[in-house]
Structure 1
């Protein structure tokens, strides 16, 4: 098992319909490959975690790097793991809705929002995502 986390900057013209498309395609592809993960958008940038078999995760990341809906894709974590931080999520999404920090967790399909605070989730990963979401 392997976990990869990256950050990137959204293009200026990226809208809600684009993000919905990203989530739908990601969820479909991830279900087929048993990739789990989490995507956060703080209004300007993305942070995403992908978990699964190393070759599958790296293949998806290669396609992500070439996606023209964002730029400056930078891997910040690439590590072997024993357990998934997001074991029940094919791809869930958290977005910051306004400058005051209001935000929305968008749960996909039958995924459980409770797994965000999975007791076995690495605290550094939780800390990193929570800090990212607060950045404006």
Structure 2
């Protein structure tokens, strides 16, 4: 059985690009070993992350996320059983909305935000991330 969890949180003041890089390195390695997939969006202040995989693995990772002092105010907004992964090829992809040059995704200026996500992303998940990225990318 596959499970998807999506949460939002607020980055700790002063969180550096190096610390975010460390998060991504560990996440990609650990997720690959546990066959978890996902997407992390960040705007310099807030995060939105989706995790997919076996329920017990997703729950274990989310428990560690809740204890991580690099962010606070973690709110789970989705927790659902799924039949198909939205991010099957991404151990953990990353996009920084306030600086599109930072991250693992390649985006051209003025590309629609939904072009970041796989074309068969479930509509409700696409809507969540599109709203988050659009709103956050407009923040000065």
Specify if TM > 0.5. yes
Closer, same or farther: CA 105–80 of 1 in aligned 2, 3 Å = farther
**1:116 positional shift:** 4.7
The CA RMSD measured in Å over matched residues stands at 1.7
* Counterparts of residues 48-87 of structure 1 (less than 5 Å): 48-87=49-88
TM-score by length of 1: 0.86
What is the rounded CA distance, in whole Å, between the counterparts of 2:102 and 2:7 in structure 1?
Answer: 19
Q: Does 1:34 align with 2:35?
A: yes
1:103 to 96, 100, 103: 100
What is the rounded CA distance, in whole Å, between the counterparts of 2:13 and 2:117 in structure 1?
Answer: 32
**1:25 positional shift:** 0.4
Question: Please, which runs of 5 or more residues in structure 2 have no aligned partner?
Answer: 106-114
Give the number of equivalent residue pairs: 126
What is the rounded CA distance, in whole Å, between the counterparts of 2:83 and 2:48 in structure 1?
Answer: 22
TM-score by length of 2: 0.84
Match of 1:133 in 2: 133
| Partner SS state of residue 126, structure 2 | helix
**1:128 positional shift:** 1.0
**1:86 positional shift:** 0.2
- The runs of at least 4 aligned residues of structure 1 exceeding 2 Å deviation read 102-108, 115-120
What is the rounded CA distance, in whole Å, between the counterparts of 2:54 and 2:43 in structure 1?
Answer: 28
